[in-house]
Amino acid sequence: MSGGHVSGACLCGAVEIRVEGGHDPRIGACHCRMCQRWSGGLFLCFEAARDAVTVTGPVKRHHSSAFAERAFCAECGSHLWMRTLGPDGGYDLMPGLFDAARDWPLRSEIYTDRAMAAIRLAGDHPRATRAEYEAKTPHVEGDA
């Protein structure tokens, strides 16, 4: 986890997010059906500890599964995060909200067997199919 800080905002600027330390400056990619529906194709995120994130502005939340919520700006609809519920749940923040993320490398890719044909990521980063990821992550209920 990084000790620096990054700040970002939604498209209209109504929601601002500051991450103070406690984040991984690498981007993860998910191709599951739920993420495809939410993002329009490919969900990208970076991890941040719950206590490292400060959010101001009008946020709407949607409990997308038994274990997670997704949030978006109530004004412009920009996607903000997916967050695991529970006391230890951290944030998976949308990197496009943060100018600093432009230079971050790809960390990993999951649900690769569900990827749309037009979205195949090159590189030698770690990859996991649906079966591989769900075997390691038992709280995930399946590819919605």
User: Distances from the Cα of 94 to the Cαs of 72, 97, 100, 132, in angstroms?
Assistant: 10, 6, 12, 24
* Residue ranges of domains in the chain: 5-136
Q: What is the CATH number of domain 5-136?
A: 2.170.150.70
Residues 59-94: pLDDT tens digits?
A: 999 998 888 899 999 999 999 999 988 888 899 999
pLDDT at 66: 83
pTM of the model: 0.90
Tell me the mean pLDDT per 10 residues along the chain, length 144.
87 98 94 93 96 97 90 98 89 97 96 95 95 85 60
